[in-house]
Structure 1
Amino acid sequence: MNPLNATTVDKPQLTEKILQFGEGNFLRAFVDWMIDGANQKGIMNHGIAVVQPIAQGDVVKNIFNQQDSLYHVYLEGIKDKQPVKEVTLIKSITRLLNPYSDYNAYESLFLSDALEFIFSNTTEAGIRYEEGDHIYAEPPASFPAKMTSLLFKRFTKFNGDASKGLSIVCCELIEDNGSTLRQYILQHAAANNLGEAFETWVKHHCFFYDTLVDRIVPGFPKETINEIKAEIGFDDNLVVKGEYFHVWAIGGDSSIAKKLPLDKAGYNVLFMDDIHDFRAKKVRILNGSHTAMVPVALQLGCETVMDAFNTPEVEQFINKMVATEVLPVINEDPEELKVFAAKILERFYNPYLKHYLRDISLNSLSKWETRDFPTVKDNFIQKNESAKLVTFSFAALLVLYSGKSAATAFIPNDTPEFVAFIKSTFNASDIKTWVEGIVSNKRIWKEDFTAVPFFVNDVTSYIALILDKGMKAAVATLL
């Protein structure tokens, strides 16, 4: 087996036009995979310099150095209902820097005349405003303070040259990720008296993009790494495994489509002025289906998404729910919605990824409220109808959290006081009062579930059905 480095692989010399905060699995199997593909097809010619966002990480840095930042992305999934596999050697990362141990190299990079982009995935907790964060530290602690420092030094070096502003594309899984980062940078600028000219430069000559990223990336395939190394023929200790499906929606200034023409390289990258409607659609179909499926499938003995979709009752439940309750209340072309939903749901049949239901079940109460209740509400508002299947999933969730379900080994991973309230107030002889007490608890919910007049009665009847007949028979009755 060959070592993987620049002596065994022909690695191109690329100009570092991208500074990337984050060396984790997702960015490497998503953003860097696309950039590399566009480079190889001659559509772009962009080197990626990766910066570690936290001080720790010497083990990973050492592996990057040993492999000259070369690694494979190993994708498996379903396309047009057929298994598909794709293995790609990624050659476009030029180096990995830790700004805490090599600040001078980091500063030289972000002050480079050639730099055009910043990509980031500093986790959901990364984009936060830290009061008093020292922006003159080398480097500052928080990501927004790092960005403020970086941009101010760049502004200063180039004397406010409009052409030296950067395009900043955030991949953190929060809504309005780029807009929020911009807001915090301006907040740091004001707090540190960096001047109106700098703030104007940030507002008008740096471009911040809100994005939605979607690909399941389990990461390093520890269980099968020896087999994978034998297959690819290299001793690669940075392999990233992911699903074949991907979509990247980028919203903001339209110039990004020309600056980052990944769609021209065949990737599912969508450019739009505003991604809010796209996000809402994706959340309702994909995330709403995941959240609705979990309490039903767990009570049928399933462990993974694949287990669930190999169970006819669950497969039929989710497909019918999406087709008859979710899609009809989304205000878009029905045929285009069907195609979009089909591509989303096809991922549930992927036999290669172990996507555990217990992991998806994290914080199911808040997830159901944000992902599924809007469908219930819109069915009432638009059609004066009950979204029976989505409502049933809420009943299944309450049964699951009551401790009285068939999934006796399941322990909810949710806000403890909310779970305790649901469990301690359970009353099998008066289910309606129990449900009313839960949906009226303002500590748990932001929404008023009683705004849908038949919601409590429907949930009550479905809970009684589940407790009386069991989940399998209850789903069959509903279908």
Structure 2
Amino acid sequence: MKALNNETVQARKTYPVKILQFGEGNFLRAFVDWMIQQANNKIDYNAGVVIVQPLANGLVEMLKKQDCMYHVSLQGIKDGKPVEETELIECVMDAVNPYAEYAKYEEYFLSEDLEIVISNTTEAGISRIDDEDINALPPKSYPGKMTALLYKRYKKYAGAADKGLSVICCELIDKNADILKEIVLELAEQNNLEADFINWLNSACTFSSTLVDRIVPGFPKDNIKEIQAELGYEDNLVVVGEYFHLWAIEAGENVRSKFPMDSAGLNVVWLDDMKAFRDKKVRVLNGSHTALVPVGLLCGHETVKEAFDDETVSTYIKSMVAEEVLPNIEGDKEKLVAFADEILERFFNPYIRHFLKDISLNSLSKWVTRDFPTVKDTVASTGKLPKKVTFSLAALLVLYKPGNPIGFEAKDTPELLEIINSVWASDSSVEEKVQSILSNDKIWGINLDEVPGFSAAVAGYVNNILDNSIQSALAEILK
């Protein structure tokens, strides 16, 4: 079988590097880079990408072994019919590790051709670090890297307005680009960078928040040999994803003209304000996923589809969305129902093995971001707790309990797991344990126990799951 590289791929195209991408993970490669490849093919976008590895350890060396090429395999439903498409991604011109190749990395950032920076450094990537050294090579955080390089770009081009950059963020946090810019400006002030630089940052650069949607299970380890045989290449970076894709970008005309993905027939939506769109997507899709994880795993299921093939589980999630989530989202109710139906239909995708254990990563922060808003809004509007969303947190606490019924080992922030483990190990009652966990703002960022009756309701469901079974508790909640 042939290796995948420039020698084995005939007439590989080369493109000017217009885009610097912070993040080399499965999602960006199967979503952003796939879109750029589509635009190059369909509308002659003529843009190349350089991938920057955000952390010291990553996939850059694997990418370089394949001359930064790989295949994206999409599987799903298109126009009501099963579809499978495979695309060779050749728009990535290079990949760099700034911890080992700082000069090369800086050269790309300062290039005259560069127009756009795209990132997905995970929810933890856009964050503040105490005593951040923006003069380190490179700085530790993503905001630190951006501050240092934007300042060097400003200096190199003497503040030229046409040398500003469009920064597009894909991290799954609200107002992702606004938060990044806020931290960059803080770092500029802390490091006494001149006012003219800040003016250039505000006038010549744009920061666009976005919302992304495509399920990307990643590397198909279970059947990689069959896929490689079909491709005819020993591609060790194949990425599998669903066919459905959606990218909502909050940006003005200047960014839209630089990044015309919608002109290539891609599902890119340009918005002036992201809030309503974000509420809809995060609460319905991501909130459903997060609620499904502990319930599905405790029921003995491995994948999203297996869980949804369980009628009790699928009824639970569908009724949670219809009765508790949608009533708290602004917008036309018929359109919201149609949107939710389309989202939940994707859970049945027969081609995607989306493992619940993979989705379970960092479930604590995911639950409070995606599901707790429904609790707050329901209490505010009705004075009652949403039973099914509340139950999902009880299932999550059972899943995170040492010695849980399925032997599951949570993957989350170690400090938070240590807190939860110590509470579960105490001699207090389940009610006291739940209240201790829910009131700890280190875990959630807020005190969940401040919602009247919430801790008691969660504890009741926890007891029911532990004393009986998840199936019995589910049946009771669905009465």
User: Given the two structures, how large is their TM-score scaled by the length of structure 2?
Assistant: 0.86
Aligned to 2:27: 26
Secondary structure of the structure 2 residue equivalent to 1:301 = coil
Structure 2 residue runs of 5 or longer lacking an equivalent are none
CA contact (8 A) 2:60 2:95 kept: no
How far is 1:160 from its partner? Answer: 1.3
Aligned to 2:84: 85
How far is 1:106 from its partner? Answer: 3.5
The Cα offsets for residues 208-235 of structure 1, whole Å up to 9 and x where unpaired, read as 1122223333333333222111111223
User: For residues 324 and 149 of structure 1, what CA distance do their matches in structure 2 show?
Assistant: 48
Structure 1 residue runs of 5 or longer lacking an equivalent are none
Greater Cα radius of gyration, structure 1 or 2: 1
Q: Against the structure 1 CA distance between its residues 411 and 52, is the aligned structure 2 distance closer, same or farther, given a 3 Å change threshold?
A: closer
AA aligned opposite 1:32: D
Q: Against the structure 1 CA distance between its residues 392 and 19, is the aligned structure 2 distance closer, same or farther, given a 3 Å change threshold?
A: closer
The Cα offsets for residues 246-268 of structure 1, whole Å up to 9 and x where unpaired, read as 22222244432222121222222
How far is 1:113 from its partner? Answer: 2.2
User: For residues 365 and 346 of structure 1, what CA distance do their matches in structure 2 show?
Assistant: 26
Aligned to 2:222: 223
User: For residues 146 and 76 of structure 2, what CA distance do their matches in structure 1 show?
Assistant: 37
How far is 1:331 from its partner? Answer: 1.0
User: For residues 55 and 443 of structure 1, what CA distance do their matches in structure 2 show?
Assistant: 27
CA contact (8 A) 1:212 1:279 kept: yes
How far is 1:117 from its partner? Answer: 0.9
The Cα offsets for residues 349-402 of structure 1, whole Å up to 9 and x where unpaired, read as 133333333343445455433332322332232234442322333344455556
Q: Against the structure 1 CA distance between its residues 426 and 197, is the aligned structure 2 distance closer, same or farther, given a 3 Å change threshold?
A: same
1:418 to 408, 417, 420: 420
Aligned to 1:166: 165
Aligned to 1:195: 194
Q: Against the structure 1 CA distance between its residues 227 and 13, is the aligned structure 2 distance closer, same or farther, given a 3 Å change threshold?
A: same
The within-5 A match list for 1:400-479 is 400=399, 407-413=405-411, 415-422=417-424, 424=426, 427=429, 439=438, 453=452, 455=454, 458-459=457-458, 462=461, 466=465, 470-479=469-478
Aligned to 2:145: 146
Aligned to 1:36: 37
The within-5 A match list for 1:299-338 is 299-338=298-337
The within-5 A match list for 1:141-290 is 141-290=140-289
AA aligned opposite 1:5: N
Report % sequence identity. Answer: 51
User: For residues 79 and 304 of structure 1, what CA distance do their matches in structure 2 show?
Assistant: 22
Q: Against the structure 1 CA distance between its residues 136 and 410, is the aligned structure 2 distance closer, same or farther, given a 3 Å change threshold?
A: closer
The Cα offsets for residues 316-365 of structure 1, whole Å up to 9 and x where unpaired, read as 11111111211112111112212222232223213333333334344545
Q: Against the structure 1 CA distance between its residues 381 and 78, is the aligned structure 2 distance closer, same or farther, given a 3 Å change threshold?
A: same
AA aligned opposite 2:295: V
CA contact (8 A) 1:81 1:346 kept: no
Secondary structure of the structure 2 residue equivalent to 1:152 = helix
The Cα offsets for residues 18-46 of structure 1, whole Å up to 9 and x where unpaired, read as 12223332221111100110110015221
The within-5 A match list for 1:124-135 is 124-130=123-129, 133-135=132-134
How far is 1:111 from its partner? Answer: 2.7
The Cα offsets for residues 242-300 of structure 1, whole Å up to 9 and x where unpaired, read as 23232222224443222212122222222222323333322221222223223332332
AA aligned opposite 1:216: I
The Cα offsets for residues 62-108 of structure 1, whole Å up to 9 and x where unpaired, read as x5445332221112234566543211011212222344554444344
User: For residues 60 and 43 of structure 2, what CA distance do their matches in structure 1 show?
Assistant: 30
Aligned to 1:12: 13
Secondary structure of the structure 1 residue equivalent to 2:174 = coil
Aligned pair 1:96/2:62, yes or no?
no
User: For residues 440 and 101 of structure 2, what CA distance do their matches in structure 1 show?
Assistant: 52
**What is the number of equivalent residue pairs in this alignment?**
473
AA aligned opposite 1:156: K
CA contact (8 A) 1:422 1:438 kept: no
Moved more, 265-274 or 224-233: 265-274
User: For residues 152 and 189 of structure 1, what CA distance do their matches in structure 2 show?
Assistant: 9
User: For residues 458 and 124 of structure 1, what CA distance do their matches in structure 2 show?
Assistant: 29
The Cα offsets for residues 103-147 of structure 1, whole Å up to 9 and x where unpaired, read as 444344333222211122334443334455554455444433332
Aligned pair 1:382/2:381, yes or no?
yes
CA contact (8 A) 2:15 2:48 kept: yes
Aligned to 1:110: 109
Moved more, 121-130 or 299-308: 121-130
Moved more, 285-294 or 384-393: 384-393
Moved more, 306-315 or 440-449: 440-449
User: For residues 173 and 158 of structure 1, what CA distance do their matches in structure 2 show?
Assistant: 33
Aligned to 1:293: 292
Secondary structure of the structure 2 residue equivalent to 1:189 = helix
Q: Against the structure 1 CA distance between its residues 32 and 162, is the aligned structure 2 distance closer, same or farther, given a 3 Å change threshold?
A: same
Aligned pair 1:368/2:367, yes or no?
yes
AA aligned opposite 1:6: N
Aligned to 2:53: 52
CA contact (8 A) 2:295 2:313 kept: yes
Secondary structure of the structure 1 residue equivalent to 2:269 = strand
How far is 1:454 from its partner? Answer: 5.6
User: For residues 394 and 375 of structure 2, what CA distance do their matches in structure 1 show?
Assistant: 13
Q: Against the structure 1 CA distance between its residues 165 and 467, is the aligned structure 2 distance closer, same or farther, given a 3 Å change threshold?
A: closer
CA contact (8 A) 1:207 1:253 kept: no
CA contact (8 A) 1:34 1:262 kept: yes
Q: Against the structure 1 CA distance between its residues 250 and 53, is the aligned structure 2 distance closer, same or farther, given a 3 Å change threshold?
A: same
User: For residues 438 and 53 of structure 2, what CA distance do their matches in structure 1 show?
Assistant: 44
Q: Against the structure 1 CA distance between its residues 423 and 341, is the aligned structure 2 distance closer, same or farther, given a 3 Å change threshold?
A: farther
User: Given the two structures, how large is their TM-score scaled by the length of structure 1?
Assistant: 0.86
Aligned to 1:340: 339
